[in-house]
Structure 1
Amino acid sequence: MAEIRVRNTNERITGEANVRAFLDKQEVLYEHWDASKLPAELQDKFVLNDEEKATILATFDAEIRDLAARRGYQIWDVISLSDATPNIDELLKKFEQIHTHTEDEIRGIVSGRGIFIIKGDEDTGYFDVELEAGDVISVPENKNHFFTLMDNREIIAVRLFIEKDGWIAHNVEDPAFAK
C-alpha cells in the first residue's frame, strides 16, 4: 500500500482511503491491482527476459486494458530495474531530474518498490509517493515530478503510453524543490 511523505512538513499519510483522498486532491490517479496474481517465480526476479515480460503483461491484461480504455492509453510495456540493470546509476540520474511530460506518466508496480516525487498544489509543495507491488499511479501531464528507486533498488512496473513513441521528459529547474 502506498504511503505519502509531504516534504515541507514531513507529515506521513498512510491507509488506502487517506492516500487516495490526498492524491485525488493533487489530481494524481491512484488505484490498486492484485499483485499476488504475479506468478511466484517472477515475484522476486528483477532481471527479466522478453518471455517473462510477456507473462507479466498477460497476467495483468484485464487491468491494463481497463485502464487503457478509460484513459486513452495505446501501448504498454514492462520495465525492470535493479542493481543488475546495466548502467543503473546513470539511468537513475536521468530519472531523478525534475521533469514534465505532455502525457500522463503511469506505472503499475507489480514487484519491488519505488518513489514518485511530485509537485503538489501551492500549499502542499513536493511530496513523495512510496509505492509497492499492487500500487498504480498516474502523474498528470505537465506536472513537475521525478521517479527513483527505494533503498532496495528493485522494481518491476507496467508502463502505459498514449503516444506510440512513449513519453519524452522535459527537464524543469525548480528552486522550490529541496532534496
Structure 2
Amino acid sequence: MAQIHIRNTGERIRGEAEVKAFLDKQGVLYEHWDINQIPDRLQNKFTLSDTEKEEVLASLDNDIKRLASTRGYIKWDVITLSEATPDLDALLKKFEQVHTHTEDEVRAITAGSGVFIIKGAPEVGYFDVELEAGDVISVPENNPHFFTLTSEKKVVAIRLFIDPSGWVAHPFADPAFA
C-alpha cells in the first residue's frame, strides 16, 4: 500500500484512505488494483517477454479500460526495470530529474516498488509517494515530478498514455527542490 513522505516536515501518511485523501487535495489520482488477477507465474517476475507483458495487460484489462475511458487514455504498455536492465543506474539518473509532461504520467505498479517525487501545493512542497504492487497513480500534466526506484531496484508497471507516441519530459529547474 502506498505511503507518503512530506519532505518539508518529515510527516508520513499511511493507509489507503489517508493517502488517497492527501493526493486528491494535490490533484493526483490514486487507486489500488487487485494484482491477484495477474497469473501467479507472472507475479514478482521482473524480466518479461512481450507475450508475458500482454498477459499482464490482459489480466488487468477491466481496470485499465475503466481508467482509460474516464481519463482519455488510448495506449498502454508494460515496463520492467531490474538488475537485468542494461545500464540501470544510468537510466535511473536520467529519470531522477524534476520534469513535467503535457499529459498525465500514469503508473500502475504490478510488481516491485517505486517512488514518485511530486511538487505539491505551496504549503506542502515536494513529497514522495512510495508505491508498491497494486498502487496506481496519475500525476497531472505540467506538474513537476520525477520517478525512481526504491532500494529494491525493481519494478513492473503499466503506463497509460493519451498521445499514442508517448510522453516527452520537459526539464523543470526548481530551486525549491531539495
Q: TM-score, normalised by structure 2?
A: 0.99
CA shift, 1:144, in A, is 0.4
Spell out the pairing of 1:63-74 with structure 2 (5 A cutoff).
63-74=63-74
Partner of 1:99: 99
**SS at 1:89 equivalent:** helix
Partner of 2:38: 38
Spell out the pairing of 1:112-151 with structure 2 (5 A cutoff).
112-151=112-151
CA shift, 1:38, in A, is 1.5
Of 116-125 and 80-89, deviating more is 80-89
Spell out the pairing of 1:2-81 with structure 2 (5 A cutoff).
2-81=2-81
Size of the alignment, in residue pairs?
178
CA shift, 1:90, in A, is 1.2
Q: Which whole-Å deviations, capped at 9, do the CAs of 1:56-102 have from their partners, x for residues lacking one?
A: 01000111011110000010000000011011111111111100000
- Structure 1 gaps of 5+ residues are none
Partner of 2:163: 163
CA shift, 1:125, in A, is 0.1
State the distance in 1 between where 2:49 and 2:35 align: 20
State the distance in 1 between where 2:54 and 2:45 align: 14
Letter of the 2:166 partner, please give it.
Answer: G
Letter of the 2:85 partner, please give it.
Answer: T
% identical equivalent positions: 64
CA shift, 1:43, in A, is 1.2
**SS at 2:55 equivalent:** helix
CA shift, 1:129, in A, is 0.2
CA RMSD, Structure 1 to Structure 2 (Å): 0.6
Partner of 1:110: 110
Letter of the 1:106 partner, please give it.
Answer: V
Q: TM-score, normalised by structure 1?
A: 0.98
CA shift, 1:24, in A, is 0.3
**SS at 1:168 equivalent:** coil
CA shift, 1:40, in A, is 1.3
State the distance in 1 between where 2:159 and 2:17 align: 24
Letter of the 2:71 partner, please give it.
Answer: R
State the distance in 1 between where 2:13 and 2:104 align: 23
State the distance in 2 between where 1:136 and 1:148 align: 15
